[in-house]
Amino acid sequence: MASATESALHGQVAIVTGSGGGIGAAIAGRLARMGALTFLCGRRRAPLEGTAEAILKSGGKAEVAECDVTDLSSVEALAALVERRSGRADILVNNAGVGSFAGPLHQMPLASWEQVMNTNLRGVFYCMRSFAPMMIRARAGHIVNISSLAGKNALPNGAAYAASKWGLNGLSYSVAEELRVHGIRVSVVCPGSVHTDLSPHEGKDSKKMLQPDDVAHVVAMLVTQQPQSFVSEVLLRPTQKP
């Protein structure tokens, strides 16, 4: 079934981190179907190739770009690749994220804390730092940061994940104020539990949970807003409690 926004992004370039599966793959697929050349980013090439294959089969355009968002040099190389290949960056979706829900904070291994913070928060900083200059030169662009309702509510046994998402929300609000003067819109999306492999869903009805396509739909709406306004935050919940 054709989307109401089909071809709305024709000629634009989108970058989606963590697009090897789950929410990232759904977002990348949606943006590609809307006409954007979509750069698929992640640490492992094989899952990215799977997403690219699905996009190409649906008639979209995608390029695979291995990138570790926790490594600034890797992110800067990605930005250089995008500029070299396309000369522009219209949409940046910071979706790459990891969770840690193994128990209370005082028992959490230091390596787990570092992994969560470096991916969920530092990685977004690196990506915005690397791609914002291209958008500033064009005086246009969309940055969409995928956060979580855990960035709004207490999450026992997931304190590091919650802290990373609370931090991401604050980062997003502040950078939105910095970049809006350049015609760049920064939005944050806070979904509840989504049916992916990221977090535990024991006791929940997966059919009632949010699906990756639900988040992709929100991103599609955000990047097709009228130019005189922007939605700064979306809280996304399932219609029925799972």
Query: Can you tell me the distance from the alpha carbon of 177 to that of 186, in angstroms, rounded to the nearest whole number?
Result: 8
Say yes or no to pLDDT of 3 above 50: no
Q: Kindly state the greatest CA–CA separation across the chain.
A: 50
Least confident of 2-6, 34-38, 96-100, 150-154: 2-6
Q: Which of 161, 172, 198, 222 is catalytic?
A: 161
Mean of per-residue pLDDT scores for the chain: 94
Query: Can you tell me the distance from the alpha carbon of 229 to that of 222, in angstroms, rounded to the nearest whole number?
Result: 10
Residue 225's pLDDT band (boundaries 50, 70, 90)? very high
- Does the annotation count 173 as an active-site position? no
Say yes or no to pLDDT of 1 above 90: no
pLDDT digits (tens, 9 = 90+) for 6-57: 789 999 999 999 999 999 999 999 999 999 999 999 999 999 999 999 999 9
Which sign does the torsion angle of CA 120, 121, 122, 126 carry? Answer: positive
Sorted by where each begins, the domain ranges of the chain are: 13-197+226-236
Which sign does the torsion angle of CA 153, 154, 156, 159 carry? Answer: positive
Extract the tokens encoding 140: 């246009």
pLDDT at 241: 85
- Using only C-alpha atoms, the chain has a radius of gyration, in whole angstroms, of 17
SS3 assignment for the chain: CCCCCCCCCCCCEEEEECCCCHHHHHHHHHHHHCCCEEEEEECCHHHHHHHHHHHHHCCCEEEEEECCCCCHHHHHHHHHHHHHHHCCCCEEEECCCCCCCCCCHHHCCHHHHHHHHHHHHHHHHHHHHHHHHHHHHHCCEEEEEECCHHHCCCCCCCHHHHHHHHHHHHHHHHHHHHHHHHCEEEEEEEECCECCCCCCCCCCCCCCCECHHHHHHHHHHHCCCCCCCCCCEEEECCCCCC
**Average pLDDT value for residue range 139-153:** 97
pLDDT at 4: 45
Residue 196's pLDDT band (boundaries 50, 70, 90)? confident
pLDDT at 61: 97
Say yes or no to pLDDT of 123 above 60: yes
**Average pLDDT value for residue range 142-166:** 95
**Average pLDDT value for residue range 135-158:** 96
Query: What superfamily in CATH does domain 13-197+226-236 come from?
Result: NAD(P)-binding Rossmann-like Domain (3.40.50.720)
pLDDT at 100: 81
pLDDT at 2: 39
Say yes or no to pLDDT of 126 above 60: yes
Query: Can you tell me the distance from the alpha carbon of 28 to that of 10, in angstroms, rounded to the nearest whole number?
Result: 14
pLDDT at 198: 63
Least confident of 99-108, 146-155, 171-180: 99-108
**Average pLDDT value for residue range 105-109:** 94
